[in-house]
Each structure stands twice: as C-alpha cells, then as structure tokens.
Amino acid sequence: MINTILNVIAPIILVMLIGAIYGRLFKPDPKMISTMIIYLFAPFLVLEGITNADVQADELLQIGVFVVIVSVALSLMVGGIGQFIKLDRRTTSTLILCIVIFNGANYGVPFNTFAFGLEAAEIAVVYYAASAIVTNTLGIYLAAWGTGQSARGAIISVIRVPILYATVIGVGLNLLGWYIPTTGSVVPPEHTAIPLTIARVIDVLADATIPLMLVMIGIQLQNLTLPRHKLQQIIIAGLGALLLAPLVAALFATALGMDGLIRQVGIVQWGMPTAVMVSAIVTQFDGDTELANGTLLFSTLGSILTLSLLVELL
C-alpha cells in the first residue's frame, strides 16, 4: 500500500501541486485551458487510445454496456438516498453527478498506467471515452432536471464536442485493424499502420493531454474550500464516489463476466474521485456549485487512501 502511494499516487499529486503553484503565481484562465483540453488535446488521446486498444469488438461493447449500467444504477440509488435525506431536486441532481461522473482521464489514465502498465492505459482510455458519452448525455440531462431547465440547448452543444466523434472514429479504426504508431511502439503483425506523419501528429497531441489535465486539476483545486454548512452532503458525495461506486461496479463486473485487466481497470476507474467536469456542468446549469466543488476537493484528497486500498484488493 505504501508502495502504491509513493509510486502510483504521489507522482500524480505532485504534478497537481505544480499546477496549483503555477496557478497561484501566474493566474492562468482555467476556461481557456479547459477549452484546449476538450476541443484540441483530449479527442486525440481518445482516438489514439481506442484505435490501439488491444480489445476485441465484444469487449468494447462490454465496456460500453458496463459503464451505462453502472451509471444508471448509481443514479437511481443516489436519487433514492437524496429523497430519503430530504434533499431538494437541485442538490440531489448535483449529488448524483458527483458520484456518477468520475475522473477517468486526467487521474484515471495515469493511475492505471502506473498501477497496471501500458496495456491498462489503453483500456483506461476506452473507459474514459465511454464515460465521456455518459457525461455528455445522462450528465447533461440530470443537471437540467435538477434546475428545471431544458436540456435541448445543452445537447446541441454536446453534439459539437469532438470527443464523441473521436470515439466513433477510434472504434471504427480498431475494428478495421488499423494502428497508430507511437514512440517506441511496434505495429502488431495483424494491424495496418496509418501514415507516419499523421500518426506523429496524433501522438504528440495525445501525449500532451494528461500532463495538461493534471495541471488543470491543480489550478482548480487551489481555490476550492469545504463549506461547513455543506460538509455532511460533501462527505456523502465523496464516500459515494470513492466507496459506493467501485463496489457497485465490482458487482456488475461479476454479473457481466468481466475478468483480467478489463475488470481491474473498470473497477479502479469507478473508484476515481469526482471529475472536474462536474463543476463545469453544475456551473452551466446553476446547480449546487458549493457541493460540486467541495466534493471535488474532498474526493481527490480521500482517493490517496481509498485507491491505494482498492489496488491492493484487486
């Protein structure tokens, strides 16, 4: 466990810390950075990861079904918890988002890489792509439902996000047997390499994504606080993201007959802290931003312990 903390989690946290220091010194515009990530860098990470992922068509389908089922199950469970403790609809929808939308890219991909190896990184990107689709559909709907707004305009905006198209193209290239050569990689014999010039452009942009995302988290976290009047709700949301979500994921992984790295990475991804994207969505739809930001901070710090335990259990 100590080894996991030092060699898997500590490098990630230290990069976040560097991002926080950079943010404190230079006051960069987080919106500009997030726009670059969403529209420029992340689509190439998804494209490369899914295209080169060593998974079969049935495994891609299994991952997609797994993410959707766990997302819906958690939404229903957390919605019931919200009603039981008498939360209003606005707070309940934010609570659901904090637990369902996990930090599968900027935290999940490097964590799985350090914990399980490069093959796990490719699978983690597939999970991230599947969760991104859920985020931009179910997540938008829940945010709109929470404040009584129409999701029509938001869905139109979602259609313009290139990550969805990168996912579709990546799945297509994967099924057709194409491969994007990366630095130091060897094209599998049964695959066809795309032209090297294009491959290097994709690889450079994809490699820049994770460091930029980690720096972005650091910039965001430096200004977050834990408001006392929301502390109980933040703890519920944080524990839901770090403990309830991976538990539910493990149950469904068993039910779907998942095994090996696909099972391990899937459960670990669901044990990730709340995603930065939750704060953006909640802000856009006038949700409970105090709960979202507080859970982001609480779950990120708490994940140092919970993810170490989860890796040992797996």
HSE-CB at 77 with a 13 A cutoff on CA atoms is 16
Judge whether 83 and 92 are in contact, CB under 8 Å.
yes
- The full set of domain ranges for the chain reads 2-313
Termini Cα distance of the chain? 12
Three-state DSSP class for residue 96: helix
Rounded Cα–Cα distance for residues 202 and 194 (Å): 11
Q: State the amino acid at position 166 in one-letter form.
A: A
For the record, the structure tokens of 311 come out as 């890796």
What pLDDT, on the 0 to 100 scale, is given for residue 70? Answer: 96
Rounded Cα–Cα distance for residues 39 and 162 (Å): 6
pLDDT tens per residue across all 314 residues of the chain: 777 778 778 888 898 899 989 999 998 887 788 778 878 888 898 899 889 887 787 888 899 999 999 999 999 999 999 889 888 888 999 999 999 999 888 788 889 988 898 889 889 988 988 888 888 778 877 877 777 666 666 666 667 778 888 988 998 998 899 999 987 778 888 889 999 999 999 999 999 988 888 888 788 777 777 778 889 999 999 999 999 999 999 999 999 999 999 999 999 999 999 987 787 778 767 788 889 888 988 998 899 899 989 988 88
Nearest to 198 by CA among 51, 34, 39, 38: 51
Q: State the amino acid at position 302 in one-letter form.
A: G
What pLDDT, on the 0 to 100 scale, is given for residue 153? Answer: 63
Residue range 2-313, CATH number: 1.20.1530.20
Judge whether 9 and 312 are in contact, CB under 8 Å.
no
φ, ψ of residue 175 in degrees (nearest 5): -70, -30
Judge whether 2 and 198 are in contact, CB under 8 Å.
no
Rounded Cα–Cα distance for residues 28 and 22 (Å): 8
Count of Cβ atoms closer than 10 Å to residue 17 Cβ: 14
pTM over 0.95: no
Rounded Cα–Cα distance for residues 298 and 66 (Å): 26
- 3-state SS of 208-222 is HHHHHHHHHHHHHHC
Beta carbons within 8 Å of 44's beta carbon, 6+ residues apart: 166, 202, 205, 206, 209
